[in-house]
Amino acid sequence: MSAPLQPESSSADVLIIGGGLSGALLGAQLLRQPGRRRLLVIEPRQALGRGEAYSASQLGHTLNGNAARMSVNPDNADDLTQWLEQHIAAGGWPESAEQGVPVAELFPPRGLFGCYARQRLAEAQAWGARQGAWLEHVQAEVVDLQVEQQGLVVTLDDGRSLRGARAVLATGMFAAARTARVDDDGFNVAAVDPWDVAAMGNIDPDGRVLIIGSGLTMVDALVSLDVAGHRGPVEVFSRHGLLPQVRRQPPAWNDFLAADPDVRSPLQLLRALRAECRQAYEQGIDWQAPLDTVRVHIARLWSQASDRQRRQFVRHVRPWWESHHHRSPPQGAAMLQRLLQEGRLRIHAASLQRVITVPGGSPSIAVRFRGQSTITEVRAAALINSSGIEYDWRRVDRALPRQLLQRGLIQPGPLALGIGADAGGAVQHADGHFSDRLFALGPPLRGMWWESTAVTDVALQAKALALRLATVQG
């Protein structure tokens, strides 16, 4: 545990609530801004910079983007590549040679990426200390927040209170597998954590395993099962039965959206993208090439769309967008294909109706297969929740989201995705006003920008928010 705070050190210029990647990147950017300031990062984990995503310890749990796409430095796209080159040259990550590609095309383990993020934060701390700026890690969880006339006060789960002139919600992602929900029917109680290899070692190695959700978390679950020595059948259930496409390294493609400003709605985007992909196919070029040019325009297209257009996108396009845009690393995709070829893995298009739990018994689920009206019960040796991320803060059964909603300090974002805020991250209160004390970045702003979880997205937001906070300090 962190040492108890002394009374004189219980206040800060900025309180950063959450010390995963979002909080660490914001802290690093603030430390490099001119001026003296004191930052408190409140994070229950022992290490900053890891959070849910980068606390994984298995080498098989890799980034879903190659090194060239995952820099935490918005001013240097090659930062991770350069760090990896030095790390590998020094004898670190010897397994990298197995991928047989240049360093920029490597898919590093997420745990190793967490080390990279921590090192960049440590470097910023050293630089900041020379300029009179300090960052301290308070190992605790924030359970309440109140706004006062001169700032804010947060209450920690150990009873302590901290004060700050401003605070930032850098809470990261609420992984569904690890997040209790207000309307939870016991799903997570019965399910095995997708990343808990030790728990999977207790599953009958020949028993059937059921997985809910067919996205990237499912790929992680398959890796975990393999490491745990599972050799039985695995059945995956998701509403559309779509699997993540494998990420490849396509050639450069013309930025067709920059050349056509008339593309503004999700439907126009879909039509234009299909046309570009057809052109690529006719030229013998990977369809991922035109798709990858869309990323830089996502925030603009989403923010200018109407609520009706956004709902249409979420309802009709989102499953295909997620499976084609959030692609699987080659290693995970290769394992998935091997399991399919061996007949051990089956993918079902079906909607989950309920989880049936019997104390001391095997878990079972009730599902409705696509095209059928009847409900089918499926029993297995184990159940894994790989349903992704919970973005609706009203459903997150955690103390801080509950208190913020109850106090009217936040309101749901567009389509109840995350929370409302202005373009610079100032949180929107329930009365519609934007706060000059409370801010947010990263996954909580999903409703504002749609894509607000990728490393490059968070890095850009952290840089902009740090500049804003440094400008209004005091």
What is the predicted pLDDT for the residue at 382?
Answer: 96
pTM of the model: 0.94
Annotate 182-194 with DSSP letters as a single string. Answer: TT--SHHHHSBPT
Question: What pLDDT score does 188 carry?
Answer: 79
Topology match between the domains 9-61+109-174+391-471 and 177-245+327-385? yes
31: enclosing H helix or E strand = helix 21-31
Burial class (CB in 10 A: 0-12, 13-18, 19+), 268: middle
The Cα–Cα gap between 27 and 135 comes to 7
Q: Does the pLDDT of residue 3 top 50, yes or no? A: no
* pLDDT beyond 50 at 4: no
In degrees rounded to 5, what are phi and psi of residue 414?
A: -55, 130
pLDDT, one tens digit per residue, over 453-463 is 999 999 999 99
Q: Where does 189-327 show beta strands of DSSP type E?
A: 209-212, 234-238
Residues in the chain: 474
3-state secondary structure of 367: strand
Q: How far apart are CA 306 and CA 45, in angstroms?
A: 39
Q: For position 10, what pLDDT does the model report? A: 76
Which amino acid is located at 257 in the chain?
A: L
Q: What is the band of 189 on the pLDDT scale with cuts at 50, 70, 90?
A: confident
Domain 9-61+109-174+391-471 has CATH 3.50.50.60: yes
Summarised one tens digit per residue, pLDDT across range 317-364 is 899 999 999 999 999 999 999 999 999 999 999 999 999 887 777 899
Where do the structural domains in the chain lie, given as residue ranges? 9-61+109-174+391-471, 177-245+327-385, 266-325
The span from the CA of 323 to the CA of 458, in Å, is: 21
CATH topology of domain 177-245+327-385: FAD/NAD(P)-binding domain (3.50.50)
pLDDT of residue 2: 43
DSSP 297: G
- Mean pLDDT for all residues in the chain: 93
| Minimum mean pLDDT range among 33-37, 133-137, 148-152, 260-264 | 260-264
Q: What are phi and psi of 131, to 5 degrees?
A: -100, 0
Q: How far apart are the first and last CA of the chain?
A: 31
